[in-house]
Structure formats: structure tokens, C-alpha cells
Amino acid sequence: MAEFKIALIPGDGIGPEIVSGAKVVLDAAAKKFGHSFNYTQVDMGGCAIDKYGVPLPEETIKTCMESDSVLLGAVGGPKWDSVPAEKRPETGLLGIRKALGLYANLRPSILKPQLAAASPLKSEKLVSGLDIMVVRELTGGIYFGKKQRAEDGSWASDEEKYSVEEIRRIGKIAFETAMLRKKRVVSVDKANVLESSRLWRFVMTELAKDYPEVTLSHMYVDNAAMQLAINPAQFDVIVTSNIFGDILSDLSSAIAGSIGMLPSSSLGENKRGMYEPIHGSAPDIAGLDIANPIATIISAAMMLRMSFGLIEEADAIEAAVDKVLDEGYRTADIMSEGMEKVGTKKMAELISERL
């Protein structure tokens, strides 16, 4: 029996519904495999602004630091759109990533055969076997670079800056991830224009020498976007900077169908990670028990596999998700003809029962 401390951050909008769905499944997994998961629930985002006046209270950071991992729903919503930039819910997200030293964001985009119709790319040839892992640098680059605005408002600038070490550590995660997959890495940059990209390309090329089994190729970001749209199945692991990763991971997710299905993990130097669905807080459907909890449930499975080393347990959760989909149960976002529509709670219950 193993014991783990999990910090739960439900957040805003559909966050509380999908996180409680994931908890039902985690509890079922704990019972089946004889583990103990101890949860501490904390606030972040809009709900924290309402309660404490800040998006990321100290207590939340402390609880996360003391936990073995963090499971997050989503933060934000129209209610907080007009608060000053430094107090916006998204600032909490950037803050917690920084505080926990989570510099790598891994987003698998897998198109499940049961949901092939959900992909906007209708050609079976294009999407069959689609299984891409985008490894995005998360705490450097232009989002964290020096920001300037002229006093008279006539110009503004953001700095894209990367150190060799920042590129090396994210590159290592990409190569090591590829070793467990099809052993292909595409490093995406804009080395024809940007100096920081030329350094990126140089470091990736040097690093590749440590991984002789992995094939490294380089692609400019504009071409990568085009290739994702016309031939996505060519990719295995994509490694890229913060801003390019932000854009390309959304594109690769969209190709794989509903965003309600896709998980992500953010990792740093130690085993502790933060796991969350790729979607936002979906304020338009909050509180209606219609959100798809599967992205959060698969994020929880990723947590068991990557942070806790509970491989069999993670596989069992993913198999239970497949089973429920095979049986024809669908939430509204992935609904198609002849299937049975269920709500958030029911979907989580079905998955926990199939475990």
C-alpha cells in the first residue's frame, strides 16, 4: 500500500465539477489497488480573488509544495476579466508554475478510435493513429521576459530570452519522453529569424548526441503549424519554446477532437507535478452537470503514472475510460448519433464502476 498527498485546486467555472469527478475515480483506484490518497483542497484563480483578494494565496503555494502532486481544474471567467493584470486569475496559474519550478509542459494529443468523428480533419488517413506529445517550455521565453511600455504609450516590447540550461533541461525531457515512444523528436523554432531560436537549435542538436537512438529533426514554427494541419500523424514528440508551444499544443489538441478529452502535465526537477485538463473553466456550461470530466480523469491517471510511479493503476483508469466509451456513453461535447448522453457526474461514476 502506498500513501500520497494530493493538492486539489478546483478553481472556477466547471473546475469544481470536473475535479470532483476525477476524485471519484481516484478513490475507486485507491480502493481497488489498496492505496491511500489524502487530499487537501485549496483556492486559486477567481474564487481566491473573491475570498482573499489575490489569485494565488500563500496557503495554496504552501499546500502544493507539501503535496506529492497537484490536480487542477481550471481558473478564470468573465467575472474577473476587468481586474488589473497582476491580479487576474491567470496570474495565479503562472505563479504556481513558477513557485513549483514546473518548467516542462507535456500535452499528449491522442485521437481515440471511438471518437474519430470528433476530429475536424475528416480523412481517416490523416488522423488514424494520431498520438502526438507536445513538450512545451513553460517558465521562460517571451512570457517571462522583460516587458516595457513607453511612457507616452507609443511603443511596447516583450523580450524572448533563453539560456543554454533552460533549453537543455526541456530538451532532455523531450528526448527521454521520445525514448519511451517512437523515438522521434521534432524541435520547432524560428531559427531563420530569431537569435534565441538559433541557440535553441544548436543546443538541441548537441543534446541529440546523448540520445543516438532518437531521430531529431528541426522545423520552423510556420511549417510545423502547416504540417500539423495537413499530416499530423507524422509527429511523435514535438519540443518547443513557451510561446510556440502554447499555440501548437492548442492546434494539436484541436486536431484530436474535443478539448474535453485531453490532459496535460507540468513537471520540474523533482517528481512533483501539476496535472490539469487542457481546457479552461468553460463558464458557459458551469454548474449544468454537462462538462466532460474525462480530460481531468486522464490527467489524474497521468499523475499516478508520472509522479507516483503507479503504472498499473494509471493503465486501469485509462482502460476504464475506453470501456465506457466503447459502451457508447458520451457527454454532450462528444455526443454522436446512437450514443447515450450522460452528465459529468454520471460519466465519472461509470468510469469508477468500470475500474
Long-range Cβ contacts of 29-32 (<8 Å, 24+ apart):
29/304, 29/313, 29/316, 29/317, 29/355, 32/313, 32/316, 32/355
**Minimum distance between the CB of residue 188 and ligand NAD, rounded to whole angstroms?**
21
**Minimum distance between the CB of residue 133 and ligand NAD, rounded to whole angstroms?**
18
What Å distances lie between residue 306 and 13, 149, 311, CA to CA? Answer: 27, 41, 8
77 interacts with ligand NAD by CB under 6 A: yes
Q: Is residue 190 among the annotated active site residues?
A: yes
Stretch that binds ligand NAD, among 30-38, 70-78, 179-187, 199-207 (CB under 6 A): 70-78
Q: Is residue 329 among the annotated active site residues?
A: no
Asked whether the beta carbons of 182 and 130 are under 8 A apart, the reply is no
User: How many CA within 13 A on the CB side of residue 336?
Assistant: 12
333 interacts with ligand NAD by CB under 6 A: yes
57 interacts with ligand NAD by CB under 6 A: no
What residues numbered 258-297 form the site for ligand NAD, per CB under 6 A?
Answer: 259-260, 276, 279-285, 291-292, 295
Asked whether the beta carbons of 287 and 76 are under 8 A apart, the reply is no
Q: Where are the alpha helices (DSSP H) in the chain?
A: 15-33, 46-52, 58-65, 89-99, 124-127, 164-179, 195-208, 221-230, 242-255, 294-306, 311-326, 344-354
Count of residues in contact with ligand NAD, rule CB under 6 A? 22
What residues numbered 12-41 form the site for ligand NAD, per CB under 6 A?
Answer: 14, 18
Measured from the CB atom, is 76 or 140 closer to ligand NAD? Answer: 76
Dist. CA 280–CA 301, nearest whole Å: 19
Query: Of 5, 143, 161, 346, which one is the catalytic site residue?
Result: 143
Query: Of 27, 246, 289, 322, which one is the catalytic site residue?
Result: 246
Measured from the CB atom, is 22 or 26 closer to ligand NAD? Answer: 22
**Residues annotated as part of the active site:** 143, 190, 222, 246, 250
The residue ranges that bind ligand NAD (CB under 6 A) are 14, 18, 74-77, 90, 93, 259-260, 276, 279-285, 291-292, 295, 333
